[in-house]
Amino acid sequence: MKTLAVAVFSLLVAAPVVSVPTPADAQVMVGRGSSRGAPPRRPALSQREENRLIAAEDAVYELEDQIAAIEASEAPTPEQLAELPELRERLAEESEVVERLTAKRNRRS
């Protein structure tokens, strides 16, 4: 009997304490992590910026295809070779726009 009492006592002492929050505690816990004076977040990109991002992405794909087609041709014409630096410059400009707007969108969302 003494051994049984010691075993029950040791189980009770070793059991974790479970506490149930009261309704007042629950109300306080709901508000944790929210800042009170923070202004509402602005949208990531304006509609104009979103349209510009889509247009720049399309331009990047088109320019990459044009450059790849010129480089893949066995005998490019002199006009194509003269056009290649201009295409690469436009590609760099459009890629910069895509990177800038994508970074802005990711920063705000």
Q: pLDDT tens digits, residue range 62-77? A: 999 999 999 999 888 9
Q: How much is the average pLDDT of 43-72? A: 92
What H or E segment, with its residue span, contains residue 98? helix 78-108
φ, ψ of residue 52 in degrees (nearest 5) = -65, -40
Give me the pLDDT at residue 6, please: 79
Q: How much is the average pLDDT of 49-56? A: 95
Give me the pLDDT at residue 51, please: 95
Give me the pLDDT at residue 56, please: 97
pLDDT band of residue 82 (cuts 50, 70, 90) is very high
User: Percentage of the chain with pLDDT > 70?
Assistant: 69
- Using the CB atoms, write b or e for 35-44: b if 16+ within 10 Å: eeeeeeeeee
